[in-house]
Structure 1
């Protein structure tokens, strides 16, 4: 996003980690105060190993997070944005546990790109026509990758089907209620908006996650967070080379 701003694009970012100093063409809508009591310094690291991480626990956790999106839409700057005449060429949001933020794309009549910080979740492939055949492609919640035996394929298939059903009838149902309250009853179904997503950037790389077929709309960007190296300071470089 900073790179977009540096190239002359006007960027508005809704986030909880605002820039420490003003950046040209870059506007933060700061949600840190709204989410401080929910996420910041709220979970001690020493209890993380004790948190259940079964297939069902993961889905219950993701489901419980959907209502945490509500404070975003209650923020005064978000309300002003939704009631403004702002124009956007592109909306970038996340593919996670809810499609509720796709309402921004409909409101501003802009194409949308989604990003996934992990491998594609089971409900994320169909909207891009991305292959997810469970006979040889492990879903995100399967603690196994690579070649699968028969039992692993069976578990993988069941998890894929159950994940999709849970998303359709529970996750998406709750998201629809929130979206209709925020964007109005005229908002198309979130499932339809999801099918209009233009592109997915996914934080994976074949060297770590193994090879798999992907559709043209899916782009792997694993490692994008790695910045270009900068030359050492002259005195430090001289000390290193002359040692």
Structure 2
């Protein structure tokens, strides 16, 4: 018995010796971002690490073993809601995608400043707490990278939208605009010449805006709060690892440098039993169930009256039952086959075998979850990356898209009938689901391994590509082009002068003879 006790003590010592103290910062005041951050934090806790998560939200049922600590950014959510209440998000559908650049930069500066000045955040960074690694969601909050310098720890960045212009430059990842569309555009990888032209303009606009406006503002915020961790180039830090909320089953294949890792789908949990009323609702739906949700940021009640009436009329004609995530207690004109609720366990509903279709706004989390469970979609995109996500779903053949601007009863009914009665959409969704599930390693285990890896190898500088050491004109070979151009121009000039000298003396001698 004594020997067994000693063995247990030794095993605990080894276990604790491998435990890391990890800081996870997801400061975006949006519920979908917290889902990603909290899922990552909980997964790291389950792997045996101590995690402190900084977010405007809190987990209502946190892990009980004491390894999970929440630092709530009080007031952040309310600040965002005060901004949102003056904006009908459905009006953003018609916004020019180029206008999103300054809009997102403005929001990024507001949220970053609110984070750095938050009382709970300042209490954390002014304490004597140490961290072995810092994990930050990159979402127009470049100044927060100073935390890696402050804690003298490796920096892991997380991209909630996969590889994009927001994160590629952090690790020197190539992103050819010839076949990689910007996330604010509704293009797929098969772009025509006009679309590629617009895409190039979007890339250039983002780069110029970030270089001359957004980055200086973020550097100033970082310098104000952490002056010792900022030089003339900005926060003093290198990105050791970039975790991407993407996967080949959801996104197009694109280039990745060695320290970029796909973990898309890590937040999806094994399905649980539904609450009794929902279980009965779905079980008794002999013709199937349609699940309808516009995500956590959009309020369906803000849709125009014409759009709401068109949806109600089209849904009321269906044999299928409908679960509609609705933000108010009542829905005037609700058909008998429609059940509303302010919240539904989305993942568990999509896992039910009677669910035939998912009507969605095209958010990346919803798209990932529907592919995980093999359910086709009808996308009604509104803003941000939703249009591109929807276009990719159509191109991949597991869904159709309908513009909120063109939504009417006839069009909606035709699309619903096509999706419900043409098996190709469900077959393609199942095919994509099989790809997502065909993994050697679970995505959360992969994230845990790589976070531990960069700590073990002191930031893993051997994964850092040389592109990060080049200026923009060196990276794009502008200096080589200018050098070659100068050489060619010199040779042409020398040839011209040589020919001139060979030809001109003859003309001169001929003039002398004539005289």
Q: TM-score surpassing 0.5? A: yes
How do 1:61-100 and structure 2 match up within 5 A?
61-65=103-107, 66-100=109-143
Q: Secondary structure at the match of 1:228?
A: coil
Q: Is the 8 A contact 1:100 1:179 kept in 2?
A: yes
Corresponding residue for residue 58 of structure 1: 100
- Which residue number corresponds to residue 239 of structure 2? 197
Q: Are the structure 2 counterparts of residues 193 and 8 from structure 1 closer, same or farther at C-alpha, using a change threshold of 3 Å? A: same
Residue of structure 1 aligned with 2:256, choices 210, 214, 233: 214
Uncovered stretches (5+) of structure 2, i.e. residues with no partner: 1-40, 284-515
Q: Any idea what SS the aligned residue of 1:222 has?
A: coil
1:154 aligns with 2:203: no
C-alpha spacing 1:153/1:60, structure 2 compared with 1 (3 Å): same
Find the structure with the greater CA-based Rg. 2
- 1:147-198 deviation line (CA, Å, top 9, x unaligned): 122222222112112211111111111101111111115523565646x101
CA contact (8 A) 1:98 1:172 kept: no
1:36 aligns with 2:41: no
Identify the structure with bigger relative contact order (alpha carbons < 8 Å, sequence gap 6+): 1
> What's the counterpart of residue 174 of structure 1?
217
Q: For the residues of structure 1 that align with 2:274 and 2:61, how far apart are their CA atoms?
A: 24
| 8 A Cα contact 1:204 1:221, kept in partner | yes
Return closer, same or farther for 1:47/1:4 CA change in 2, 3 Å cut-off.
Answer: same
1:193-215 alpha-carbon deviations (Å, 9 max, x no partner): 46x10111222222232222222
TM-score where L is the length of structure 2: 0.42
Which residue of 2 is the match for residue 17 of structure 1? 57
Contact 1:18 1:30 survives alignment (8 Å): yes
Distance in 2 (alpha carbons) for counterparts of 1:34 and 1:113: 26
Match for residue 3 of structure 1? 43
1:45 Cα deviation (Å)? 11
Q: Aligned-residue CA RMSD in angstroms? A: 2.6
The change in CA–CA distance for 1:126 and 1:42 in structure 2 (over 3 A counts) is closer
Structure 1 residue 89: Cα displacement:
0.8
1:86/1:189 CA distance change after superposition, 3 Å: farther
How many matched pairs? 233
Which aligned segments of 4 or more residues in structure 1 are displaced greater than 6 angstroms? none
